[in-house]
Amino acid sequence: MSITVDSINKRFGKYQALNNVSLDIPEGKLTALLGPSGSGKTTLLRIIAGLESSDSGRICFSGQDVTGLHVRDRNIGFVFQHYALFRHMTVAQNIAFGLDSLPRKQRPPKAEIQTRVNELLEMIQLPHLSQRFPAQLSGGQKQRVALARAIATRPKILLLDEPFGALDARVRKDLRRWLRSLHDEFHFTSIFVTHDQEEALELSDQVVVMSQGNVEQVNEPTELYARPGSRFVFDFLGQVNVLSGELQQGRLSQGNAWVTVPGSEHQGNAQLYLRPHEVQLASAPTAHAHLPLRIEAVSLIGSEVRVELRPEGWQNESTDTIWEVGISHSEFNHQRPARGDLRYAVPEIGHLFNGKDSQPETIDWASSESVPRMRLINNTSA
């Protein structure tokens, strides 16, 4: 079942929580609503669910207007951050709840409810805990039960509000994978709210980025990451290194820091955005970049080594500006960067913003003819 959000407005007193929001949520896909706290994600989810009314606009399910339909008639499954399980009911009773409380005519016979609960217990891999009460479960187990309860009535739409927000990192990752496979098996149309960009990019088919009651961008995760349409989206999708300066005749500079910008026609104020993996570290400047930085910290934890650096001698950078560059463990073993060392950032791909609110221009030094491609810059003897 597809969902259409058509020109939805919502005010709380003087605060415009949603500002003319329109969206298409495709059938059978997992869509993430991603944005900072207060951007309107939960309000939008609640309006789609029928738990909150909008001031104007329409919600349609597969083209049918459901704006005036009561929540119980929308056939939606919900999962909230704080499990909301019934404390006095066992796991099995919690899962059966939605079916037990259907009007008599729609309610399946007792034996069928029991069969369905058993199937769901198998699916969430908790049949051995069916007689426990919520207080006797871990957070991850509670959230599995909440999911089983949400889908017991076989809804076409599943709405999840920060479903893994209260869980620790490990359990969160496991449950993410599990939700993805569950989704692939049952093909619900799902929307989940999160402020965790990694979770949104990893789990969803489509990401809706929200900011201050507006939709900033809608895209598939890989497209969104490759082509953020605004500074806001860029900033929100993770760590980014920025060189702000004056662009004159193909060179962007700030104090002693500069980088050539092949192909850019723009003159004047500009900012170059570089992600940690789009930059290499060298011990000497190259022909296309002079970006001196001093190493502040080196972290070896994780699949790559994270090097934090502070601009050295750039004119306008505040003292708390930190650049982050990711290098492989083998590069680390080769170069042995250490706190206090001077290094030069060498951009490979960058994103240049020039006018206000403009789309960024992608600068690819690696494929530009004047600059040879270099992955590992081993000029430590220079």
Q: Which positions lie near ligand ATP, rule CB under 6 A?
A: 12, 15, 17, 35, 37-43, 195
Residue 235 DSSP SS3 = helix
Residue 159 DSSP SS3 = strand
Nearer to ligand ATP, 212 or 358 (CB): 212
Q: Token pair for residue 169?
A: 């990192």
Please, what is the minimum distance in Å from the beta carbon of residue 187 to ligand ATP? 26
Please, what is the minimum distance in Å from the beta carbon of residue 221 to ligand ATP? 19
Q: What is the DSSP letter of 125?
A: T
Nearer to ligand ATP, 12 or 86 (CB): 12
Angle of the 169-186 helix axis to the 139-151 helix axis, nearest 10:
20
Please, what is the minimum distance in Å from the beta carbon of residue 50 to ligand ATP? 15
Q: Which residues of 166-200 are buried (b: 16+ CB within 10 A; e: fewer)?
A: bbeeebbeebbebbeebbeeeebbbbbbbbbbebb
Nearer to ligand ATP, 40 or 245 (CB): 40
Integer Cα distance of 325 and 279 in angstroms: 6
Residue type, 219: N
Please, what is the minimum distance in Å from the beta carbon of residue 38 to ligand ATP? 4
Please, what is the minimum distance in Å from the beta carbon of residue 166 to ligand ATP? 13
Nearer to ligand ATP, 80 or 188 (CB): 80
Nearer to ligand ATP, 42 or 189 (CB): 42
Please, what is the minimum distance in Å from the beta carbon of residue 196 to ligand ATP? 10
Nearer to ligand ATP, 42 or 141 (CB): 42
Helix H or strand E encompassing 143: helix 139-151
Three-state SS string over 311-352 comes to: ECCCCCCCCCCCEEEEECHHHHHHHCCCCCCEEEEEECEEEE
Integer Cα distance of 174 and 185 in angstroms: 17
Nearer to ligand ATP, 134 or 213 (CB): 213
Please, what is the minimum distance in Å from the beta carbon of residue 148 to ligand ATP? 24
Q: What are phi and psi of 215, to 5 degrees?
A: -90, 120
Contact 25, 3 (CB under 8 A): yes
Q: Token pair for residue 288?
A: 């296309």
Q: List Cα–Cα distances, 266 to 250, 252, 269, 353, 361, in angstroms.
A: 8, 10, 9, 10, 10
Please, what is the minimum distance in Å from the beta carbon of residue 279 to ligand ATP? 31
Query: Across the strands, what pairs with 345?
Result: 281
Within a 10 A sphere around the Cβ of 94, how many other Cβ atoms?
A: 25
Nearer to ligand ATP, 13 or 63 (CB): 13
Nearer to ligand ATP, 11 or 29 (CB): 11
Contacts of 326 (CB under 8 A, 6+ apart): 276, 277, 304, 305, 306, 307
Please, what is the minimum distance in Å from the beta carbon of residue 208 to ligand ATP? 11
CA 229 to chain centre: 15
